């Protein structure tokens, strides 16, 4: 199995080649003591744990069941592990680090094995951060800082030809020092231009039209999700809380407008006439607190046509961030003082 993983790693680009000798099973899970259940990720359960081999420091332990076939671990597992190690090796401040991978036990009566992915522990996710936001909400400077760091992490992924594909507030972590970190790459994969990818990606409320319409997609899928999160920082509630795929598209078109029939993708099996025609509304009507530049950036991130959607690199240069200077202290200050839950609607 280790040979299979190492062979896969050696086929990666030069950045990952430096970690090609990495062995998947470095330590036993017995080195860790579970402390608190954190939540369920895309493919596994996450716990806060103590690393007994490193003075009991806190880590995030992701426990996943991996099916074992005749050829060992599935390609998807090899892909995720090599991807995580590659990103950790490149050491970007806005991407969570994979510290270790440990073997557990074979699951009885099943062709499965428990594997533990050990990540740096980050204090809070963005969903919890927003839930604890006291009135009257986040300041413009705070929203800028959170959004810029989010875009910076995504730009790093996209530069290295990686799609996140499951971006949502629960997968955006915030340290007590005010650093934003992207996490849970259970659905991530290296991309090659516009390629047909699996359709079950991105939590519904943050899912772009091209995914809802079962089209091929590329990095713009993450930009759309980031735009939804950007809007949520102002609203303190989701921008498009759809109940199913059709309702999700309807809620999107209510805001951005139904595209003209001439712009409807030819390869889509769902007819344009299926949807009610909406003219759309200005983003400043939907989000009264957002400034003109912020509304312009949001519109650029939420284009129906992914080709016209702004890139993360371009978004970071947008006029909205003019004179912006990263100041994670304002995030950490809010982190410490945020104790009153928001009203859930």
* Distances in whole angstroms, Cα of residue 233 to Cα of each of 76, 239, 241: 33, 10, 15
Is 62 annotated for ligand binding? Answer: yes
Pick the CATH number of 124-335 from 3.40.50.800, 1.10.357.10, 1.10.510.10, 1.10.3720.10: 1.10.510.10
**Residue 52 pLDDT:** 85
Q: Can you give the residue ranges of every domain in the chain?
A: 32-120, 124-335
Whether pTM exceeds 0.85: no
**Residue 4 pLDDT:** 30
Catalytic residue at 166? yes
Cβ neighbours for 176, distance < 8 A, ≥ 6 positions apart? 123, 124, 332, 335, 336
**Cα–Cα distance for residue pair 164/83, rounded to 1 Å:** 11
Q: Give the domain 32-120 fold.
A: Phosphorylase Kinase; domain 1 (3.30.200)
Per-residue pLDDT tens digits of the chain, which is 345 residues long: 333 333 333 333 333 332 232 344 445 556 778 778 887 765 678 888 888 888 888 998 888 777 776 666 666 666 767 777 788 888 999 999 988 888 766 666 667 778 888 889 998 999 999 999 888 899 999 999 999 999 999 999 999 888 888 899 999 999 988 999 998 765 555 554 444 445 454 589 999 999 999 888 889 999 999 999 999 999 999 999 999 999 999 999 999 999 999 999 888 888 898 999 999 999 999 999 999 999 999 999 999 999 999 999 999 999 999 988 877 766 766 654 444 443 333
Q: Minimal CA–CA distance to 162: which of 80, 66, 78?
A: 80
In the set 155, 166, 184, 222, the catalytic residue is 166
Is 203:240 a contact under the CB 8 Å cutoff? no
């Amino acid at each position: 199995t280790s040979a299979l993983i190492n062979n896969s790693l050696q086929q990666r680009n030069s950045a990952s080649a430096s970690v090609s000798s990495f062995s998947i099973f470095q330590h036993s899970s017995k080195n860790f003591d579970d402390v608190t259940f954190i939540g369920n990720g895309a493919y596994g359960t996450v716990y806060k744990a103590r690393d007994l081999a490193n003075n009991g420091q806190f880590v995030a332990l992701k426990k996943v069941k991996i099916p074992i076939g005749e050829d060992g671990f599935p390609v998807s597992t090899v892909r995720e592990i090599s991807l995580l190690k590659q990103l950790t090796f490149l050491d970007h401040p806005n991407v969570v680090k994979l510290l270790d991978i440990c073997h557990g036990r074979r699951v009885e009566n099943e062709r499965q094995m428990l594997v533990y992915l050990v990540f740096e522990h980050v204090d809070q996710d963005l969903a919890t951060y927003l839930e604890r936001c006291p009135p009257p909400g986040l300041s413009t400077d705070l929203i800028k800082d959170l959004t810029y760091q989010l875009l910076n992490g995504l730009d790093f992924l996209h530069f290295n030809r990686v799609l996140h594909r499951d971006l949502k507030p629960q997968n955006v972590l915030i340290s007590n020092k005010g650093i934003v970190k992207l996490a849970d790459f259970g659905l991530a994969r290296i991309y090659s231009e516009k390629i047909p990818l699996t359709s079950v990606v991105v939590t519904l409320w943050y899912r772009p039209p091209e995914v809802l319409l079962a089209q091929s997609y590329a990095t713009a899928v993450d930009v759309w999700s980031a735009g939804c999160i950007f809007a949520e920082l102002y609203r303190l509630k989701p921008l498009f809380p759809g109940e199913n795929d059709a309702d999700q598209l309807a809620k999107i078109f209510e805001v951005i407008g139904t595209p003209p029939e001439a712009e409807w993708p030819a390869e889509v099996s769902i007819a344009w006439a299926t949807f009610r025609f909406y003219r759309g509304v200005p983003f400043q009507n939907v989000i009264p607190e957002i400034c003109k530049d912020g509304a312009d950036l949001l519109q650029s991130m939420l284009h129906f046509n992914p080709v016209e959607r702004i890139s993360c690199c371009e978004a970071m240069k947008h006029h909205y961030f003019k004179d912006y200077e990263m100041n994670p202290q304002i995030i950490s200050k809010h982190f410490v003082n945020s104790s009153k839950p928001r009203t859930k609607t």
